[in-house]
Amino acid sequence: MRRFLLTLAITSVTLLYLSQTVAQETQTSGDEWDAWEEFDEFEQSEEVSPFTWAGFAEVAAGQRVQTDPALPGATTLRDLRLQLQADYTLDTSTLAFRGDIYYDGVVDSLEVQIREALWQGNLAFLGQWGAAFDAKIGQQVLTWGKGDYLFLNDMFPKDYQSFFAGRDDEYLKAPGLSARLSGYFDWVSVDLVLTPQFEPDNGITGEYFSFFNPQLAGNIAPAFEVTADNQPDNPEWAARAYHTIGQTEVALYGYHGYNKTPEAVDESGLPRYSRLNVWGASVETPLWQGLAKAEYAYHDAREEADGSNPLVPNSQHRLLLGYEQELVANLTGSVQWYTEQISNYDKLLTTSLWPQFAPQRRRHVITTQLVYRTLRQSLTLNWFNFHSTTDRDGYMRFRASYSPVDQWQLNSGFNWFYGDEAHTFYSQFRDASNVYASFRYFY
């Protein structure tokens, strides 16, 4: 807004000056051209600043729709947030910053999150070979893969507490300190990501939502933390190679690191992160009037060779098939079928400490989504449903976003969990169902 007003003032003064000059020199046509030459000189002397900044202020509130016996309060979201975005353009690269400072009223804490603090640019200064590579180094948000809210090969950190509470979708992807090298060639494009120190998910740990504990056969809500000894400090590696053949994009993925959630336990029963490799592939192509996609990933539990160790999660095969199409004007629909198959399942059952709560050998999830945009694209309605046919549970989310002008946006919606069994993935969060609303002002 300030940049716009400044530009408007300069333009108004310039036009006023020109009109006066032209009026005074109407008798001499040659002097009229002199005035326009002065205008050209003024425009040529104006330089664009390499520094740009923006941001927003936001207030958000959410409320549980039913009582959770494991938690004393009913609030699920109480945010007062300020975000600053700043970019500085150098000759051949850019410095970027995105940072949030916010008061979290649910846990009564002032939080700071640096979502971006990085340098990015081309490596042409290394010579002709380097010109084929771009680098991005620093705190950043990374993602890849084809699933909508389902992650097979995307092993970058997520924030599920923000997702379940109703914060904007951008906060589902958590930031991490990484170095990304991207290479572009005629026959293939590649991405290589090094994260010097393991970055876990921000999962459900009890501050906002309770979770199922098999030992107590019910939900608990301690704000547990993984001890320092059980938090890896080794690096993570992730790689992707992709190429477009006609209109079809094919990609291969690899990951070397750890499970993003502390599903393993040590000999004392304390949660920890176990070693993990992931190998996979995806394909995306136009089909009929829409877009079809498929993705596969093998999650190789490096500490569990034959499924006989009950303290470590087993390996898994994961598969996703999806299709998206515009159904009518401004209404887009999509569907996904996702499945997980646990390796060495029989041994898991025989060695499990709580076999009655063991997951299904094959877990299936079907997602459906409808997105409708109206009022000249100022109102967006997004309905998304996860439904597991094997667990007989699910998670429905709805969000309405209204932004009639560029300066502000109003959001509201709900998160609804349902299911028959207390221990299945979505059903364990039945008491977490909530409604929320937020107002965001851009500056």
Q: Is 63 inside a domain boundary? A: yes
Q: What is the pLDDT of residue 20?
A: 38
Q: What is the pLDDT of residue 182?
A: 98
Mean pLDDT for the chain?
89
Q: Is 125 inside a domain boundary? A: no
Co-location of 42 and 150 in the same domain: no
* CATH number of residue 279's parent domain: 2.40.160
Residue-wise DSSP of 401-435: EE-SSTTEEEEEEEEEEEES-TTSTTGGGGGG-EE
Q: Is 164 inside a domain boundary? A: yes
What mean pLDDT do residues 128-153 have? 96
Q: Is 99 inside a domain boundary? A: no
Pairing mode, strands 189-195 and 236-245: antiparallel
| pLDDT higher than 70, residue 103 | yes
What mean pLDDT do residues 219-226 have? 86
| Top-confidence residue, 225 or 102 | 102
Q: Is 88 inside a domain boundary? A: no
Q: Which residues contact 396 (CB under 8 A, 6 or more apart)?
A: 383, 384, 385, 386, 414, 415, 416, 418
Q: Compute the distance between CA of residue 341 and CA of residue 363 in angstroms, rounded to an integer.
A: 7
Q: Give the DSSP H/E element, type plus range, for residue 241.
A: strand 236-245
Co-location of 29 and 155 in the same domain: no
Q: Confirm whether pTM is higher than 0.75.
A: yes
Q: b/e string for 373-397 if b means 16 or more Cβ within 10 A?
A: beeeeeebbbbbbbbbeebebbbbb
Co-location of 71 and 8 in the same domain: no
**Token pair belonging to 373:** 């945009």
Q: Is 93 inside a domain boundary? A: no
Co-location of 203 and 335 in the same domain: yes
Neighbours of 234 (CB within 10 A): 12
Model confidence band, residue 353 (pLDDT cutoffs 50, 70, 90)? confident
Burial (CB count <10 Å: 0-12, 13-18, 19+), residue 238:
buried
Co-location of 273 and 342 in the same domain: yes
What is the residue range of 41's domain? 1-47
List, for residues 260-307, the tens digit of each pLDDT value.
999 999 988 899 999 999 999 999 999 999 999 999 999 999 998 788
Nearest to 100 by CA among 110, 86, 114: 114
DSSP reduced 3-state for 193: strand
| pLDDT higher than 90, residue 342 | yes
Residue written as token pair 């709560």: 357
**Token pair belonging to 374:** 């109206």
What is the 3-class SS of 261-326, one letter each residue?
CCCEECCCCCEECCEEEEEEEEEEEEECCEEEEEEEEEEEECCCCCCCCCCCCCCEEEEEEEEEEE
Q: Is 108 inside a domain boundary? A: no
**Token pair belonging to 102:** 């916010």
Tell me, what amino acid is at 121? G
Residue written as token pair 């198959």: 341
Co-location of 346 and 288 in the same domain: yes
List, for residues 386-424, the tens digit of each pLDDT value.
999 999 999 999 999 999 999 999 999 999 999 999 999
Nearest to 433 by CA among 64, 182, 73, 149: 64
For the chain, report the end-to-end CA distance as a whole number of angstroms. 7
Q: Tell me the percentage of the chain whose pLDDT exceeds 70.
A: 90
Model confidence band, residue 46 (pLDDT cutoffs 50, 70, 90)? low
Separation in Å, CA 73 to CA 63, 105, 437: 9, 11, 18
Co-location of 420 and 373 in the same domain: yes
What mean pLDDT do residues 160-175 have? 96
Q: Compute the distance between CA of residue 75 and CA of residue 66 in angstroms, rounded to an integer.
A: 11
Tally of domains within the chain: 2
Co-location of 218 and 153 in the same domain: yes
Beta strands in 25-157 (DSSP E): 51-64, 75-89, 93-104, 109-122, 133-140
Q: Give the DSSP H/E element, type plus range, for residue 397.
A: strand 393-402
Co-location of 3 and 63 in the same domain: no
Co-location of 238 and 359 in the same domain: yes
Q: Is 112 inside a domain boundary? A: no
Neighbours of 240 (CB within 10 A): 21
Co-location of 255 and 322 in the same domain: yes
Co-location of 288 and 156 in the same domain: yes
Q: What is the pLDDT of residue 305?
A: 78
